[in-house]
Amino acid sequence: MTDKYTQLVNQGLGRNLAKKLGLPQPAFLRRYQPGQPLITGPVLVQGSTPGADSLAAELLAWDLDVRRHAVPRERLGAIILVLDDVVTPEDLAGPVLVVAASLRDLGPGGRVITVSRPASDTADPAAAAARQGVDGFLRSLAKELRRGATGNGVLLAPDVAPTSPSSLAAMRFFLSGRSAFVDGQFITVTGTGSDPQDTPDRPLAGRTAVVTGAARGIGAEIARTLHRDGATLVLVDVPAAGDRLAAVANEVRGTALQLDITTPGAGQRIIDHAVQRHGGLDVVIHNAGITRDKLLANMDEAKWNSVININIAAQLRINEALLASDHFRTAPRIVSLASTSGIAGNRGQTNYAASKGGVMGMVRATAPLIAAYGGTINAVAPGFIETDMTARIPVALRELGRRANSLQQGGQPIDVAEAIAFLASGAAGGINGQVLRVCGQNLVGA
């Protein structure tokens, strides 16, 4: 659905009027297009650690214009602040204030990225305070950025270097237009990750991926994005959506499987179809889901059970079949759709929030099980995304949902699809059990 307000305040009279009245002025976001530069403008890498030096050298190898020291009044594409060795809160002042002096030089659609360590990985109170301080600093800074710029962070486990494959994959994702609607978020890298066939433009070449709920909306956009990235596709939806499902499958040159995922044996049917038609199965995207919104006082058993069954119970059964199958063993990837409703809650969505909270719990508990096969499972939690469902929300509530984030606009289905494609890639093999919010930094919730 078109956001006419954003169009209005980005041109002529509308722009001037919004400025005079102090109205929100959301910027057009820099979204990924094949063949475009990773970032426009110099990249300032701040930090005096060996990790900062090695990261700067790696970014130079990407043909980026890297600066180790700021040049006054030079328009920057990104600022990367490497804080991987802070041990006391006092250690933050120097590098943070150096970055502060360069913020006004950050261009439209720019990026600020921190590289640090999780507070939970140290028993030292001072070091934990410093590391958690980076979290509060970055999330607050992200709310100060304007003109479509975003701020995000990469968290490195103790034995993970800033230049490990998955660390660099997270860095590339945050720098690129693929992360346009990801703001104020952290990705934790717990392993190195590796895939010699992984390339930035077609990271899923040679991989077979299943997408459930693929007939329309976010599911169809996921299918298109995975196809763009080289995947062979199996698209799943209920028989009632058969015509739309076939149209999307033809568009992405995949195969369609009409299947109710809540039926017994659905997981094995998906595996058998992928193996028989495409020779294997590597990636599963759990996108299928429904809403049956009611205040809990008005909730009946049918509405509660249908949401739980489709949104989480079916995923659990399918995952059980996947983990038991010898056909899901080559660096397997599972990505599930959660929701910010499952993080912050939402009035009238107790059943939906319970199901999406359940998805996040499932992801964290399944992570060590799939890691035994060299695989990963992660979740993407969208916020307000412009879909047919949000288009039916009353106008006042819809506008509130759009503006209640740091980017002051709704996301697009492609924003969710880009995050999923990144987590499904080989280079993201060191990212496991994580929940990545795609919400423009909602002003509610964690």
The range of the structural domain enclosing residue 218 comes to 208-438
In terms of domains, do 262 and 366 share one?
yes
| CB burial readout 154-182, b (16+ within 10 A) else e | bbbbeebbbbbbbbbbbbbbbbbbbbbbb
Most confident of 1-10, 56-65, 289-298, 436-445: 56-65
Strands 106-116, 255-258: pairing is unpaired
C-alpha 262/C-alpha 134 separation (Å) is 43
Rounded to two decimals, the pTM is 0.94
In this predicted structure, what is the pLDDT of residue 197?
Answer: 47
Same domain, 222 and 182: no
168 shares its domain with 290? no
Q: What is the pLDDT of residues 237-286, one digit of tens each?
A: 999 999 999 999 999 999 999 999 999 999 999 999 999 999 999 999 99
**For residue 317, is pLDDT > 70?**
yes
352 is annotated as an active-site residue: yes
Looking at the structure, tell me whether residues 126 and 275 fall in a common domain.
Answer: no
Residue 11 in any domain: the answer is no
Look at the alpha carbons of 155, 160, 162, 166 in this order and tell me if their dihedral is positive or negative: negative
Please tell me the distance from the alpha carbon of residue 128 to that of residue 119, in angstroms, as a whole number.
4
Q: Distances in Å between the alpha carbon of 119 and those of 7, 20, 129, 134, 441?
A: 41, 43, 7, 9, 21
CATH number at residue 46: 3.40.50.720
Please check whether residues 229 and 337 belong to one and the same domain: yes
Q: pLDDT for 350-376, tens place per residue?
A: 999 999 999 999 999 999 999 999 999
Measured CA to CA, the distance from residue 176 to residue 414 in angstroms comes to 14
Q: Do 363 and 428 belong to one domain? A: yes
- Asked whether residue 88 falls in the same domain as residue 175, the answer is yes
Q: Are residues 308 and 223 in the same domain?
A: yes
Tokens of 249: 């499958």
Q: How confident is the model at residue 407 (pLDDT cuts 50, 70, 90)?
A: very high
- The structure tokens 């030292």 sit at 124
Q: Which of 5, 32, 352, 373 is catalytic?
A: 352
Q: Does residue 15 sit within a domain?
A: no
Whether 333 maps to a domain, the answer reads: yes
